[in-house]
Amino acid sequence: MLHHFEGEDQDAALTSFAEHCHTIGIPKIALLKIRQLRMEKQNVTEKSLLTPTTLPKPALKHRLWPSSYQTTIVWRIIVQDVLKSDSHVAENLKKLYNELLSQVTLSRAPVSTEAELGNIQVGALAQTSHLSSGTGERGAEWRNEGSPASIPVQPAPSQYTAAHFNIFIHAFVAADMPRRAASIPADMYRVGIAPTLHGLTTIVKGLASIGNVDRVNALLDMMEASAKPPDESLSPSPGSNMTLPPPTVVTYTAALEGFKRSKCKGAAVGILQRMRTNLDYTPGSDPYLDSAVAWLNEEIANTPRHPDSVVERY
């Protein structure tokens, strides 16, 4: 599956997933796409032979419970398809994200009732519905293996990690919706998943790129606060056991690059002041940061100022 995904053969990656794993913990549209790929594969195989035949049995007698990494790949494939589409990108991204959030919430709930489980598209049930219409031995074999009674249908909490949410953080930023991406960490907290530095850095750059100075500074304030020792005189607030990771030089560089794009020179100066306070950075050790600093110095040099004012270069 990973081989096909890295080779950008998304159809083969989805087919490999379905052949080896129960199709659970993935978006509904992925189930429909897998079904379509199976139908196309069967049609091509039967047309290429002189006599009708059945497809070979799956290599595995029993499918495996998918890992979080495997389901992450499936979600990424579907999200990439949405980003490549020509219309309704924002709407479809929001729908997909809401579906992910519903699945994650369900996985952390007590064992659900049959009625509740009816609201989630389960691969085993879809597989049974589709293949029961087939003919010959193949249809009977897959109906037995995919029977709802033999396959657990509620996703496990371990199936969902921060990587699933990072897919949508990147997608919303790529679709020029960084404000929507900025709301994802709060959702992650609610379901007990800690945001990662990678995801937060992506949000910082996205917000800076549209010149949203206040939200960038607020997010950096929260991240920097987590690096300071807690004040024992203050009572812990709800959710304080899950703190944001502190920013690194990569985070500050992302903010600088974003403010460079939105031409927010004053905000960029503030980022460099934060770096001086919080980091021990050696000039020349990061080409991306050095490029951003060079841009800022050039902007400062070209800015008209009062003869008595002093402007510090960085």
Q: The tokens of 228 are what?
A: 């300071």
Q: Which residues pair with 184 in a beta bridge?
A: none
Rounded-to-integer distance, Cα 252 and Cα 201, Å:
8
Mark residue 187 as left, alpha or beta (left: phi above 0; alpha: psi -120 to 50; beta: remaining).
alpha
pLDDT digits (tens, 9 = 90+) for 183-232: 999 999 999 999 999 999 999 999 999 999 999 999 999 999 987 765 55
- Measured in degrees and rounded to the nearest 5, phi and psi for residue 87 equal -145, 155
**Largest Cα–Cα separation, the chain:** 92
Four-residue CA torsion sign, 56, 60, 63, 65? negative
Stated pTM of the model: 0.74
Residue 9 has a pLDDT of 58
Residue 6 has a pLDDT of 61
Name residue 281's amino acid: Y
Please name which of 140, 119, 118, 142 lies closest in space to residue 34, comparing C-alpha atoms. 142
Rounded-to-integer distance, Cα 185 and Cα 176, Å:
18
DSSP letter (8 states) at residue 151: S
Roughly how many angstroms between the first and final C-alpha of the chain, as a whole number?
48
Share of the chain above pLDDT 90, in %: 39
pLDDT digits (tens, 9 = 90+) for 267-310: 999 998 898 888 877 777 778 788 888 888 787 777 655 444 33
- Measured in degrees and rounded to the nearest 5, phi and psi for residue 95 equal -65, -45
Q: Highest mean pLDDT range out of 80-84, 119-123, 156-160, 164-168?
A: 164-168
Name residue 162's amino acid: A
Average pLDDT, the chain: 76
Find the range with the poorest average confidence among 149-158, 242-251, 286-295.
149-158
Q: The tokens of 265 are what?
A: 């020179």
